[in-house]
Structure 1
Amino acid sequence: MSGTMKPTPVRSSVLNAASARPNRIPIAPPQGYWRLAWRSRHGDQSVLLERRAVTVNVGLLGAFLLASVLYLSLGSVNVAPMAVLHALFGKADVMANFVVQELRLPRLAAAACTGAAFALAGILMQTLARNRLATPGIIGIDNGATAFAVASIVGIGVSIAPPAMALAGATTAAVLTFGLAAGSGTQGYRFIVAGIGVGAVFGAVTQLLLARVAIDTANAAYPWTVGSLNARPSGALQLLILGLVLGLITALMLARSLTLLRFKDATASGLGINVKRRRLEVLLLSVALTGLAVAVAGPVGMVGLIGPEIARSLSSSRGVPITAAALAGALVMVLADLAGRTLLAPIEIPVGIVTAVVGGPWLLWILMRPQRSFT
């Protein structure tokens, strides 16, 4: 007998149930990372968090908060730490509320924002130049912003360090440095030497301007020229806060490009990075952050060296520690200004002198260490 075999019917409900419950194999994160996964209407989403980076950022944030409480507590009038917390919400006595909210809190905000801006600008410039010495302070951008700001005081009589003049001076110094280093780009010591020369010229211009004005005007401007949080121009801090928020967001968006810019241009280009455009974006961001910070606190250049070094020593070498550098810069600036206010009280030491005392030996240590690749 001949015949054909009929296939066994399969119920559609079983197929639908099988397709509705696919086997999901959990994806293990790479070593040293946490994987956060969630489901949305667009499908499964996940993000990788580096464990060491999270730990470092949380640790630096905790240290910064502790330093902030000490900053608000110590001074000519000491306030207990618990009273500081109450005063932040206006629930302490009248004297504590006035000291914390009116006198110390605005200065704390200025110290934290300028420190974060200087350190963020420093690590951006170091990555751009592939050189740990290439900070805005060392290559003359700080001095250019200072010279233009002092010129506005002497020539126009407006408030100290208007942000527009500081930005113009920082941009001019950067253009001159890059122009003098033409042919070598941002790599090599020719770029550093050109920046040191430009900074020296602008520093001499600043001293010349101060020498030609009345002694009262020079005395009022001098503490700011070495870096001080006493003479904060009105409105400059608000612009700095806005610029810092936008700059930090932009830097985080450029994080992958910054990591690749540490390698040779051919390698970065081969990995899909438009090197010339990225370099211009990083340079403009660094100059803008430096100009806004100088407009508030003056040329506190060593923070741009110390903050990135702390962040880099604590973080892994997988990427550029952007957030850690900003937190470390804010911490260094707050501690330096606290030391300047309290060590020789009632005499106040400008914060720029304190950071120079600490940053000078740090710079010598970097120079005397055996040279190694920046990456």
Structure 2
Amino acid sequence: MAERHLPLLALALCALSAAFLGWHLRAPFGFILELRATKLAALICVGAATGAATILFQTVAMNRLLTPGIVGFDALFVLLQTLLVVALGGVGTAQIPGAWRFVLEAVFLMAAATALFGLLLRRDASDVTRMILTGVVLGVLLRGLASMVQRMMDPSEFAVVQQAMFASFGRVDGGPLAAATGLLAAALLAALRLAPALDVAGLGRGAARALGLDHDRVVLVSLMLVAAMISVSTALVGPITFLGLLAASLARHLTDSHRHAVLIPAAALIGALILVTGQFLFERLMGSQSALAVVVEFFGGLLFLGLVLRRGRQ
């Protein structure tokens, strides 16, 4: 049974989390544990949300090569950081309280995603391909606009923007973490409740409607959940494009299941495991603070190329 892998994944996550918290723990114990617990919570939240969101996105797009980042979340986030620095300066941007900055970024990303999904699919949800292609084009446009603005910036201010262009788990603000955790947990629970409908939606629009499923509503609800999870996780730590593809691909391979009640929690657990394991190795054993996002993107990109080449040979 595919379900037998879920307790093993949960047990592995608990064991790694304990190692992450307790490895070489020294005085002052309370202060260090608080810092580590904040970072651990962010790792688990971002990994779980990204993995689950990718499963949902691949199902509604009917394509296992895609990730939510393809519709331009990362480009929009970088543009937002660029405009903030241009408007307020590097010092002014740094002085924005963490909670207010998180709310601003999350609301802006969710509003943009809702506008994209809602406007392009307002009549029906049959043309998901057009929505994805529009997102790709908008992503290219936003990256070009951000790059143009960055070329006119002062080098010290560009350094502030450059720091925000990559996901960082070393600068997680504990203030908005509780709100982000609550939002992501609610979105994950909603995705699990939607799992039976997603099993049917995965058969295709025609077959799903023949079986009595309101396919358009399921697609729109799924995309709203994807927007919420990716927006909140991006606002929390920054953009990380290929983590979801890694988690979703490993979940499908490990469980060998097509049931979303298994795939969604499996991808969530694997996404969290990837981040917790990577951060533990780089931070605790190798003494590096910033390599995790780069390594995840590297291996995720290799996996994407491998999947594309394998599908091309088929």
Provide the TM-score with structure 1 as the length reference.
0.71
Q: 1:256 aligns with which of 174, 196, 209?
A: 196
Cα gap change, 1:211 to 1:68, in 2 (>3 Å): farther
Deviation at 1:52, TM superposition (A): 2.0
Give SS of 1:369's match: helix
Determine the structure 2 residue equivalent to 1:151: 83
- Higher RCO (C-alpha under 8 Å, 6+ residues apart): 2
Cα separation, 2, equivalents of 1:341 and 1:256: 40
Identify, as 1 or 2, the structure richer in helix: 2
Determine the structure 2 residue equivalent to 1:139: 71
Amino acid across the alignment from 2:72: G
Amino acid across the alignment from 1:98: F
Determine the structure 2 residue equivalent to 1:52: 2
Determine the structure 1 residue equivalent to 2:127: 185
- Preserved CA contact (<8 Å) 1:138 1:196: yes
Does 2:283 match 1:341?
yes
Cα gap change, 1:273 to 1:177, in 2 (>3 Å): closer
Determine the structure 2 residue equivalent to 1:368: 309
Cα separation, 2, equivalents of 1:210 and 1:111: 29
Does 2:206 match 1:266?
yes
- Aligned ranges for residues 71-90 of structure 1 at < 5 Å? 71-74=20-23, 78-79=24-25
Deviation at 1:192, TM superposition (A): 4.7
Give SS of 1:162's match: helix
Determine the structure 2 residue equivalent to 1:110: 42
My pick for the range that moved more, 141-150 or 286-295, is 141-150
Deviation at 1:180, TM superposition (A): 7.6
Cα separation, 2, equivalents of 1:330 and 1:216: 34
Give SS of 1:138's match: helix
Q: Which structure 2 segments of 5+ residues have no match?
A: none
How many corresponding residue pairs? 302
Amino acid across the alignment from 2:289: E
Give SS of 1:273's match: coil
Cα gap change, 1:152 to 1:313, in 2 (>3 Å): same
CA RMSD of aligned residues (A): 2.9
Provide the TM-score with structure 2 as the length reference.
0.84
Amino acid across the alignment from 2:193: M
Does 2:227 match 1:294?
no
Cα separation, 1, equivalents of 2:149 and 2:103: 19
Deviation at 1:357, TM superposition (A): 1.7
Cα separation, 2, equivalents of 1:162 and 1:232: 11
- Preserved CA contact (<8 Å) 1:119 1:303: yes
Q: 2:298 aligns with which of 354, 357, 369?
A: 357
Cα separation, 2, equivalents of 1:65 and 1:341: 18
Identify, as 1 or 2, the structure richer in strand: 1
Amino acid across the alignment from 2:57: M
Cα gap change, 1:282 to 1:226, in 2 (>3 Å): same
Deviation at 1:323, TM superposition (A): 0.9
Deviation at 1:282, TM superposition (A): 0.7
Give SS of 1:317's match: coil
- Preserved CA contact (<8 Å) 2:247 2:270: yes
Give SS of 1:235's match: coil
